[in-house]
Amino acid sequence: MSRERLILAVESSCDESAVALVREGGEVLSERVASQSDLHAATGGVIPEVAAREHHRWVPKLIGEVMVEAATLGVANEIDAVAVTTGPGLVGSLLVGAGVASAWAWGRGLPVVPTNHLEGHFRAAWLRSAGASAASAPTLPAIGLIVSGGHTLLVRVDADGRTERLGGTIDDAAGEAFDKIARLLGLPYPGGAALSALAAGAARGGDLPGGLRRLPVAQTDGEYDLSFSGVKTAAARMALAAIGEPAASPGRAAALAATLRDHPVPAAAAAAIAAAAQDAIIAALVSRVDRALAATPGASLVVGGGVAANVPLREALGALAARHGRTLNVPPVRWCTDNAAMIGAAAHAALREGRAQLQDPARGVSVSASWQFGTEAPA
Ligand code: KG4
Ligand code: ZN
């Protein structure tokens, strides 16, 4: 092929439907994202059946919109392959994306490339806007930190694209911890960004509700593993202390939520709890990345996932990378949260590095709710 490969990418693993057109090398020619988060805010979380039905409504519509733009750009007939997220994620949502994408590919005589969602978050750092220079693209080997609402994962990606999992959360994902603590403080789902905004207004240096100075950073057995459930429990204890129930134990989530709904945490205490929780989550992440960089001389640092939108986390990781003399690569926020351009970038990388093949859509595309980044696609 004389020109660079062009991929239409489809993402539907959780609650964002997304379609993008990505050129080999990471140039994004067109992209659309339809988020269901307003719909799921009403129920305080994603309901899988509702998410799948929404993808069924949105994915074909977004493909149509991207193809109109492709026609305008004169590239509608240049598409070489269709990449689609086939895991990990919600199985119903994955099935809708895989089904729609492979049917569309079959109708045009195009091959499909089953693509890993977490590799997408990692490869998002290679994306660039149409016409932008590729000069600042990250380099391999790299330590990859993927922090989202569903995943918290630390990997080492070698120069040939081979990936080793170093560690990850043993309970809640980092974004899930942000979201659960945000909920305790009365913020709507998903609460990560709102919790961070609340934390920015906190008065620093005083005692926290319940008399603590800072929240504990949980220890884990695995050198690179993380645990966030302790931060969530400590935040719940502080919230109860702040409303005058210091003796109560957090207990069942439903009872705790009802108590805090009836007696909301006062504003100043809520800000202090938000700041302490954010500090603890960031300290845990930074300590694991610190170890990984120390163990991998010459590796750059690549960060992706929705929580990478968190400004204090970006600042802390930037300072850490500088201390190790490495470069930090974090994509702009629109490519940190779920999107399809990152799936296109991951598919290009997997094809180039010989880790993925172009497949005939008529053979069917398998999905897997638990496909691990760095392992073979589900057969
Ligand atoms: O990657 P993403 O869009 O979806 C998943 O694959 O999970 O990540 C969403 C997560 C949510 O938990 C959300 O609260 C969190 O990213 N998030 C943030 C911020 N912006 C989004 N967490 C902390 N600070 C932020 N600024
Ligand atoms: Zn994601």
My answer on whether 23 and 128 are in the same domain is: yes
pLDDT band at 2 (very low <50, low <70, confident <90, very high): low
Helices 267-295, 311-323: inter-axial angle, 10-degree rounding: 30
My answer on whether 341 and 206 are in the same domain is: no
306: Cβ contacts below 8 Å, ≥ 6 apart: 147, 148, 149, 175, 190, 192, 336, 337, 338
Question: Given 278, 301, 326, which residue is the final one in a domain?
Answer: 326
Nearest atom, ligand 1, residue 311 CA: 26
Q: In this structure, is residue 157 part of a structural domain?
A: no
Q: Say if strands 128-129 and 163-168 run parallel, antiparallel, or are unpaired.
A: unpaired
Ligand closest to Cα of 118 equals 2
Nearest atom, ligand 1, residue 151 CA: 7
Question: How confident is the model over 303-314, as pLDDT tens digits?
Answer: 999 999 999 999
Q: In this structure, is residue 146 part of a structural domain?
A: no
My answer on whether 215 and 318 are in the same domain is: yes
My answer on whether 95 and 193 are in the same domain is: no
Rg (CA), the chain: 21
My answer on whether 94 and 201 are in the same domain is: no
Q: How far is the CA of 140 from the centre of ligand 1 (A)?
A: 25
CA dist 169 to 116, 147, 161, 321, 330, Å?
19, 10, 23, 22, 20
SS3 content of the chain, % helix, strand, coil (to 5): 45, 15, 40
Please give the pLDDT value at position 206.
72
My answer on whether 169 and 188 are in the same domain is: yes
Q: How far is the CA of 1 from the centre of ligand 2 (A)?
A: 32
Q: In this structure, is residue 158 part of a structural domain?
A: no
Q: Whose CA is nearest to atom 1 of ligand 1?
A: 306
Model's pTM, two decimal places? 0.94
* Domain encompassing residue 246: 163-326
Q: Whose CA is nearest to atom 19 of ligand 1?
A: 193
Alpha-carbon gap, residue 200 to 196, rounded angstroms: 6
Cβ–Cβ < 8 Å for 36, 338? no
Q: In this structure, is residue 155 part of a structural domain?
A: no
My answer on whether 294 and 354 are in the same domain is: no
Q: Which helix (H) or strand (E) holds 255?
A: helix 253-262
Please give the pLDDT value at position 247.
63
How many independent structural domains does the chain possess? 2
Nearest atom, ligand 1, residue 338 CA: 3
Question: How confident is the model over 183-237, as pLDDT tens digits?
Answer: 999 998 889 999 999 999 998 777 777 776 678 777 788 899 999 989 999 999 9
Domain of 195, CATH number, reads 3.30.420.40
Please give the pLDDT value at position 339.
97
Rounded mean pLDDT of the chain? 93
Cβ 149 under 6 angstroms from ligand 1:
yes
Please give the pLDDT value at position 304.
97
